[in-house]
Amino acid sequence: MIRTLVIWAVVTAVLAVPLVAAAFSPLLAWRDPIYILAGFAGVLSMGLLVLQPLLAGRDLPGLTPLESRHWHRWVGVTLVIAILIHVAGLWVTSPPDVVDALLFVSPTPFSAWGVVAMWAALAAATLGIYRQRLALRFRVWRLSHTGLATVTIIGSVVHAMLIEGTMEIMTKTALCALAVLAAARTLIRLRVWDIRRRS
């Protein structure tokens, strides 16, 4: 019970502390509410990218495999919504910058990484939604879904680390490191690259 409480307390802190730290950023002064909302949606997205691999790997105590899968789906939906809010908010405040980013002509390197991560996340979510209709072998589907999720995490980490924005540097670095470690742990445990065995 104590171990379970400690783990969930850490998970809660991973999601909450970066948001609280960002709320005290001096860069928020004089910013439009929509821009601030977009920024916080981005911070939340990074936190959810830590949570998703843990749910996929069934590493969170107190959840059955079925519950882990259920929450993985809902956190995935929340992640997509947060990404869309992030992009839409930036679009409202600065349409030319978003257009340049989407066309990969932005002078800021972090933009391209963010766009790649966004499309990978949307593709991973699409695979999740249409899993049954695609009629793929489970291991092939899982490899595809996890590959896209990995691109999402790597792209998001590079995107976040290159930006000098509202995220506080220490919590940002810790969050990015945790996302990579959680993803690596799940990839190794599930051996998603092995598609030779029958599902």
pLDDT digits (tens, 9 = 90+) for 47-94: 999 999 999 999 899 899 999 999 999 999 999 999 999 999 999 999
Those residues with Cβ within 8 angstroms of residue 49's Cβ, 6 or more apart along the chain or in another chain: 79, 152, 153, 156, 179, 183
- Residue 199's pLDDT band, with cuts at 50, 70 and 90, is very low
Per-residue pLDDT, averaged over 6-29, amounts to: 91
Q: Mean pLDDT, the chain, as a whole number?
A: 90
Q: Is residue 195 part of a domain?
A: no
Those residues with Cβ within 8 angstroms of residue 46's Cβ, 6 or more apart along the chain or in another chain: 18, 156, 160, 167, 172, 175, 176, 179
Residue 84: give the domain boundaries. Answer: 2-190
pLDDT at res. 165: 79
Does residue 98 surpass a pLDDT of 90?
yes
CATH of the domain at 39: 1.20.120
State percent of the chain over pLDDT 70. 96
Q: Is residue 15 part of a domain?
A: yes
Q: Are 144 and 136 in contact (CB under 8 A)?
A: yes
Q: Is residue 105 part of a domain?
A: yes
Does residue 198 surpass a pLDDT of 60?
no
Q: Are 108 and 149 in contact (CB under 8 A)?
A: no
Q: Is residue 198 part of a domain?
A: no
Q: For residue 46, which of 131, 165, 188 has the smallest C-alpha distance?
A: 165
Does residue 181 surpass a pLDDT of 90?
yes
When computed from its CA atoms, the radius of gyration of the chain, rounded to whole angstroms, is 17
Q: Is residue 47 part of a domain?
A: yes
Model confidence pTM above 0.85: yes
Q: How many domains does the chain have?
A: 1
pLDDT at res. 197: 55
Cα(144)–Cα(138) distance, rounded to whole angstroms?
Answer: 10
Q: Is residue 55 part of a domain?
A: yes
Q: Is residue 74 part of a domain?
A: yes
Per-residue pLDDT of 150-178, as tens digits, reads 999 999 999 999 998 788 899 999 999 99
Q: Is residue 197 part of a domain?
A: no
